[in-house]
Structure 1
Amino acid sequence: MLESLTYTEVATHRNPNDYYIVIHEKVYDISKFIDEHPGGEEVLKDVAGRDATVAFEDVGHSPDALNILTTLCIGVLKKQIGDSAASTKEPSQAFPTTTNESSSFRLCAIIICLVLGAYLAHRVL
């Protein structure tokens, strides 16, 4: 039988050797898996104690990863009034995504650096 946990209870599990996350309203104990995670332990520690659904979906996981996830399930989420807003992190800091604005800025910065580098190389040679 699966446990029924609230976001508040899940949030208390973000300590060394005690990490819980929520994905699609199921609660997972990732404590024993954290060292084996192919993406590194930091990405899991960043979402520990929170709803990691968006971060999990943003990355895209293999069927093997989904099978591993099912073995880590310990419960289901018991929602309470006022819980949902505090449960999620800003749009996934653990798995950063770029916006069109930040991509455009980076592209402009790279082009400026290349032009400046070419100019300086031309002046020196």
Structure 2
Amino acid sequence: MDSSAQMAAKRTFSRKEVEEHNSKQSTWLIMENKVYDVTKFLEEHPGGIEVLLEQAGRDATESFEDIGHSNDAREMRDQYYIGDIVENEHKHFQRTSSATLTKSSPSIFNSTWSNWLIPAAAAVIVALSYRAIVAFIKGST
């Protein structure tokens, strides 16, 4: 849904109103203070119906982010947007980029480190093990 369509269809809901939509017949989620009716998506969700029903009627922001959904999933989510949480019930989130909420992790676990560090460490271990085995075999003969 483009932003002009979102503005035209924009409604506001209290968290209490959203809580009432927690079944297979009416499944609403809150993500970043936006309300989504994912009822029609239940059968299509790659993670299964149960995943969405667990979050139904609740704020699913953290769960959505923890899974690490793709940009395609984020765009797909927009088609289920039905409105916003009323202003006085907003929760505040910090973002590190336009796609993810703030979650700090040590830089050694950054994918660029792990792309070469883990294979390099494995290669060193294999090489040292090989040398130790060869030395042991030569020493016992």
Same fold by TM-score greater than 0.5? yes
Find the counterpart in structure 2 of residue 68 from structure 1.
76
Corresponding position: 1:28 with 2:32: no
Per the TM alignment, residue 16 of structure 1 is displaced from its structure 2 partner at its CA by 2.1
Q: Distance in 1 between matches of 2:42 and 2:50?
A: 9
What secondary structure does 2:36 align onto?
strand
Distance 2:62 2:24 in 1: 23
Matched, 1:52 2:57: no
Gaps of 5+ in 2: 1-8, 92-141
Confirm or deny that 1:39 pairs with 2:71.
no
Number of positions where the alignment pairs a residue of Structure 1 with one of Structure 2: 83
Rounded Cα–Cα distance in structure 1 between residues aligned with 2:49 and 2:87 = 27
Once residues 87 and 27 of structure 2 are traced to their aligned partners in structure 1, the CA distance between those partners, rounded to angstroms, is: 19
Paired letter, 2:61: T
Task: Give the superposed CA RMSD.
Answer: 1.6
Q: Greater helix share, 1 or 2? A: 2
Letter in 2 for 1:64: D
Choose between structure 1 and 2 for higher RCO, CA contacts under 8 A separated by at least 6 residues. 1
The answer (yes or no) to whether the contact 1:27–1:76 under 8 Å persists in 2 is: yes
Per-residue deviation at 1:64? Answer: 1.2
More strand by share: 1
Specify the SS of the correspondent of 2:75.
Answer: helix
Q: Secondary structure at the match of 2:29?
A: strand
Q: Is the 8 A contact 1:7 1:79 kept in 2?
A: no
Q: 5+ unaligned residues in a row in structure 1: which ranges?
A: 85-125
Based on CA coordinates, which of the two structures has the bigger radius of gyration? 2
Which residue of the partner structure matches residue 4 of structure 2? none
TM-score, structure 1 normalization: 0.62
1:33 aligned counterpart, secondary structure = helix
Q: Secondary structure at the match of 1:75?
A: strand
1:8 counterpart = 2:5: no
Question: Could you give the per-residue CA deviations for residues 39-71 of structure 1, whole angstroms, max 9, x where no partner exists?
Answer: 111010000000000000000111111111000
